[in-house]
């Protein structure tokens, strides 16, 4: 039952029919209610041994547990007790959702079923985006955002969804992540009608990404496609595809790129990154506090960079755990996808891993231009990655898999080093972009 309720919870959180179709549902607080039911049934199923807790040696316990602890420490170190309570409550919901989903994705079939569920929700969101641009209104009478094109008297219409995806950039990030999952469905199932349906969904999602007119979403799409092609091709074939890709990009480039890379909007973002860096320098170890960075930005604006947002709020200590979650998800999927498979189920899991790797690359790139450090898509994907790690560890053993994925007892130092290196890289990239302005 907990698997059913965690899916219903995500349905109400992402599709949000209570916002546009059935407002009366909000009386029952469907998001809170379904989350509570999912947690309750999961606890009962674990106690009844219907579900099993993942092995305590699984590195995801340390990574997510450390991130949860660092969220609390970001306020405790600043002796801000009210912030401590609110941050633990807020991020605690994310952490518990991660654990419940991780526990429930305990078979390859469940992972495939959940993938289909996500693809269908993203297809629904895509239809809404297309309707907004083609007819002027989407579901519930929602209208596209109208923004001026920098350096021009023209305007751009940006499709978007509701709730946590009300920003076109968030919508584009989610849809880009759904693309490799849709490709998995297309390849995995041999049924002709299902493949036709998956192809239609794939085209619909790509179309919807362009309707968002999101520069970050478009770049994410390019990176996702690039990583996917690189895994399938030789170096020469990949170079040829890159040449063709550059040609196509010049044709289908969204209108928001017409103002150049460093337009007024981008310069403003770079300034925000600089303000966040200054805040980080003041409190480099534990940061300024979870959810507090907007106090350091003019007009309480968002930082518009998930990485800068993370180390400014959580400090070096928290950023190590946050970035390690991102890096380990990518590296572990890449490594596990290369393992030899014997059974049909293992081959299906390997295919899923290979499909998601490009999606992670695209999601991380879009995170460079969005402050979505603690947003749902990251942690739903982390839960799926953790579930895959558990499934593979049943065949290889946890200790052997830890060593294979560079996180064994003698390799723990790699992750703090990667995290700190990424901070230096981000700082240098900001300096370069400042010089371009």
Question: In this predicted structure, what is the pLDDT of residue 289?
Answer: 95
Question: In this predicted structure, what is the pLDDT of residue 154?
Answer: 81
Closest CA to 62 of 430, 437, 324: 324
Instruction: For the beta carbon of residue 297, count every other beta carbon within 10 angstroms.
Output: 19
For residue 337, give every residue at least 6 positions away whose Cβ sits within 8 Å of its Cβ, in sequence order, or none: 350, 353, 354, 357
- CA 164, 287, 278, 321 torsion: positive or negative? negative
Question: In this predicted structure, what is the pLDDT of residue 242?
Answer: 53
Instruction: Please state, in angstroms and rounded to a whole number, the distance separating the CA atoms of residues 437 and 418.
Output: 29
pLDDT, the chain, mean: 89
Instruction: Please state, in angstroms and rounded to a whole number, the distance separating the CA atoms of residues 282 and 206.
Output: 43
- Spatial contact of 415 and 328, defined as CB atoms under 8 Å apart: yes
Question: In this predicted structure, what is the pLDDT of residue 251?
Answer: 47
Q: Residues for the chain: how many in total?
A: 437
Assign 240 a pLDDT band (cuts: 50, 70, 90).
Answer: low
Instruction: Please state, in angstroms and rounded to a whole number, the distance separating the CA atoms of residues 255 and 33.
Output: 42
Q: Which two tokens stand for residue 396?
A: 């290889």
Overall average pLDDT of the 323-350 stretch? 92
Question: In this predicted structure, what is the pLDDT of residue 250?
Answer: 44
Q: pLDDT of 45-54, one tens digit each?
A: 999 999 999 9
Range 75-112 burial, b when 16+ CB lie within 10 A, else e: bbbbebeebbeebbeebeebbebbbbbbbbbbebeebb
Q: pLDDT of 144-156, one tens digit each?
A: 999 887 667 788 8
Range 354-388 burial, b when 16+ CB lie within 10 A, else e: bbbbbbbbbbbbbbbbbbbbbbbbbbbbbbbbbbb
Judge whether residue 111 has pLDDT over 50: yes
């Amino acid at each position: 039952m907990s698997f059913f309720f965690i899916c219903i919870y995500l349905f109400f959180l992402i599709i949000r029919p209570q916002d546009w179709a059935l407002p009366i549902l909000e009386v029952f607080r469907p998001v809170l209610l379904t989350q509570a039911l999912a947690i309750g049934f999961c606890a009962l199923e674990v106690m009844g041994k219907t579900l099993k807790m993942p092995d305590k040696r699984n590195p995801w316990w340390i990574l997510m547990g450390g991130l949860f602890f660092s969220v609390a420490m970001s306020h405790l170190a600043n002796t801000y007790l009210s912030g401590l309570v609110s941050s633990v409550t807020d991020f605690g919901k994310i952490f518990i959702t991660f654990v419940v989903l991780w526990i429930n994705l305990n078979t390859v079939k469940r992972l495939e079923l959940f993938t289909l569920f996500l693809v269908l929700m993203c297809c629904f969101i895509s239809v809404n985006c297309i309707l907004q641009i083609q007819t002027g209104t989407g579901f519930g009478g929602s209208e596209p955002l109208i923004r001026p094109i920098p350096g021009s008297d023209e305007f751009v219409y940006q499709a978007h969804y509701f709730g946590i995806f009300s920003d076109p950039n968030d919508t584009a990030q989610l849809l880009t992540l759904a693309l490799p999952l849709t490709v998995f469905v297309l390849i995995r199932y041999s049924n002709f009608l299902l493949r036709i349906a998956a192809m239609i969904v794939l085209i619909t999602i790509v179309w919807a990404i362009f309707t968002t007119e999101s520069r970050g979403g478009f770049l994410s799409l390019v990176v996702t496609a690039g990583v996917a092609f690189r895994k399938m091709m030789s170096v020469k074939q990949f170079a040829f595809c890159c040449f063709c890709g550059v040609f196509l990009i010049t044709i289908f480039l969204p209108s928001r790129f017409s103002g150049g890379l460093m337009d007024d909007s981008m310069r403003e973002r770079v300034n925000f990154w600089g303000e966040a860096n200054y805040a980080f320098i003041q409190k480099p170890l534990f940061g300024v506090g979870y959810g507090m960075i907007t106090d350091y930005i003019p007009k309480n604006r968002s930082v518009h960079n998930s990485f800068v947002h993370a180390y400014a709020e959580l400090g070096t200590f928290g950023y190590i755990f946050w970035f390690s979650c991102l890096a380990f998800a990518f590296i572990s999927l890449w490594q596990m996808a290369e393992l030899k498979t014997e059974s049909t189920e293992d081959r299906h899991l390997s295919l899923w891993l290979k499909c998601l790797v490009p999606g992670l690359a695209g999601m991380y790139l879009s995170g460079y231009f969005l402050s979505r450090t603690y947003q749902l898509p990251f942690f739903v994907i982390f839960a799926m990655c953790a579930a895959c790690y558990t499934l593979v560890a049943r065949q290889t053993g946890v200790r052997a898999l830890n060593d294979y994925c560079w996180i064994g007892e003698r390799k723990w130092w790699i992750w703090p080093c990667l995290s700190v290196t990424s901070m230096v890289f981000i700082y240098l990239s900001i300096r370069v972009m400042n010089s371009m302005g």
